[in-house]
Every structure is written in structure tokens, then in C-alpha cells.
């Protein structure tokens, strides 16, 4: 399929459908309910991107697909971060190659996505395991997941060791490419056209995007902000 490419663009905005019975807001002037401190602190910041990180394998090994924590660091210049545990093969490969692709999946890719998340590098060929199709990036030396409607081609320019056992990799986005129908002619994401999904950090569930509730800059009459 034809894939349009936008250079130096990255990231996507996401909002997720509320669970049944949720979503009611407190009435104006009503006091908030009693706040409960959870027994264990956690990074409960939903939604969290569901992203497949693809990279070359070590010499003689198959290419690698991993599910890592990922996030936007900057819009202009386009910069993202991924975080890998010391036990992840991805950590070794990111240090070795310094290049990767963030592949944004859609709802019908959830089974393959979860197989990747639940299996280590010992599973062998991750493309065979997931059923996804290997593609090739145009700006970096890395494979892609052809089914993903959005691909961010990235090059690492810094890293930070995070105790006790993780490494944060900071990368510039050299190219963002999309499948037909994902963006308009200006390169603006058409959110309602593709069933993206993400994880609700705090429940570990996957949700697609639901009702639009606003946009960046709405209080100052701006509709041109994308990142």
C-alpha cells in the first residue's frame, strides 16, 4: 500500500472511551468525595500509548519487535522516548544500532500486539509469532510493521540510566509516514478514521478512541496545534 511520508513530524493525540457507568462529572459547587490513598503507588497516567518498537537484530539474529514504554518528549523538533529494562533484548539492540521505528497499531492488531508483549526474545522470529508483515524504513536502518497506520522512524541521540534497571533512550523523529486515510492533505491526523487503541495505565486494559471532548487551544480560538 502507498504510504505518505511527513519529515520531522511525530506523535499522535489520543482520547479513550469511558467505561460503562463512568464519565459522570461532579456537579458545579458540589464538594469532592473522600480521596483514597492506594496501597501501592503506580504511574496511573492514562492513556498510555500502545506502540510496537521495531529494530534490527544482532548480527545473525532475526529482527526484533518489542512493546516498550514510549512517550512524546517534544513536538518541534520532533522527539520521543522509549524505556527498556536491562533484561530486554531491545535495550541491547537500541544501544547497538541507535535506530528504531515506532509502529502505531490498530484494534484488530491487539492479539499480535499482546503476543509480542507476553513473549521474550527467546520466542525467536517475532514477525512469525505476531503474524505481522515486515517492512523497511526509508530514513533509518530498521524494519517496520507494515500493517501499522503510523510509523515514526527514529534515531537515538541520548540515553539515561534509570535505577534500578532501566535505560531511557531519547530519539529524534526523522520521518513520520502514514497509510492512506490516516491524515488529511495538511498532515493532520484524522482521529475518527482509524481504530487506534492504547492502554489505560492503572487497569491494563486496551481502549479505542471514543467521543471527542475538545482540542488544544480551544479557549483561545486556535485549531492549528497538533503536537
pLDDT at residue number 4: 67
Q: Please write the tens of the pLDDT for every residue from 168-191.
A: 999 999 999 999 999 999 999 999
pLDDT bin (cut points 50, 70, 90) of residue 18 is very low
Please state which CATH number belongs to domain 4-10+44-220: 2.30.110.10
Q: For the residues of the chain, what is the DSSP string, one character each? A: ---EEEET--------PPPTT--PPPPTTPPPPPP---SS-----S-EE--EEEE--STTS--EEEE-EEEEEETTTTEEEEEEETT-HHHHHHHHH-EEEEEE-BGGGHHHHHHHHH--GGG--HHHHHTPPEEE-SSSS-EEETT-SEEEEEEEEEEEEETTTEEEEEEEEEEEEE-TTSB-TT--B-GGGS-BEEEETTTTEEEE-------TTGGGT------
Average pLDDT in the 144-173 region?
98
Query: Domain coordinates of the chain in residue numbers?
Result: 4-10+44-220
Kindly tell me if the per-residue pLDDT of 133 is higher than 50.
yes
Average pLDDT in the 207-225 region?
88
Q: Please write the tens of the pLDDT for every residue from 74-123.
A: 999 999 999 999 999 999 999 999 999 999 999 999 999 999 999 987 87
pLDDT bin (cut points 50, 70, 90) of residue 213 is confident
Amino acid at each position: 500500500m502507498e504510504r505518505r511520508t511527513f519529515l520531522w513530524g511525530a506523535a499522535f493525540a489520543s482520547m479513550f472511551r469511558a467505561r460503562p457507568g463512568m464519565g459522570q462529572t461532579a456537579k458545579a459547587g458540589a464538594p469532592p468525595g473522600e480521596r483514597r490513598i492506594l496501597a501501592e503507588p503506580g504511574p496511573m497516567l492514562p492513556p498510555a500509548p500502545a506502540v510496537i518498537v521495531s529494530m534490527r537484530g544482532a548480527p545473525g539474529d532475526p529482527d526484533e519487535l518489542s512493546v516498550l514504554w514510549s512517550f512524546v518528549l517534544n513536538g518541534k523538533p520532533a522527539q520521543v522516548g522509549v524505556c527498556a529494562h536491562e533484561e530486554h533484548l531491545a535495550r541491547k539492540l537500541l544501544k547497538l544500532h541507535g535506530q528504531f521505528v515506532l509502529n502505531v497499531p490498530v484494534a484488530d492488531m491487539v492479539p499480535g500486539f499482546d503476543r509480542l508483549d507476553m513473549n521474550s526474545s527467546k520466542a525467536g522470529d517475532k514477525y512469525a509469532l505476531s503474524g505481522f508483515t515486515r517492512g523497511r524504513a526509508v530514513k533509518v536502518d530498521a524494519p517496520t510493521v507494515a500493517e501499522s497506520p503510523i510509523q515514526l522512524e527514529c534515531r537515538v541521540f541520548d540515553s539515561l540510566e534509570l535505577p534500578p534497571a532501566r535505560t531511557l533512550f531519547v530519539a529524534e523523529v526523522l520521518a513520520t509516514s502514514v497509510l492512506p486515510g490516516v491524515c488529511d492533505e495538511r498532515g493532520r491526523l484524522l482521529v475518527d478514521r482509524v481504530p487506534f487503541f492504547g492502554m489505560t495505565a492503572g487497569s491494563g486494559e486496551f481502549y479505542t478512541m471514543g467521543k471527542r471532548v475538545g482540542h488544544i487551544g480551544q479557549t483561545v480560538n486556535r485549531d492549528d496545534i497538533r503536537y
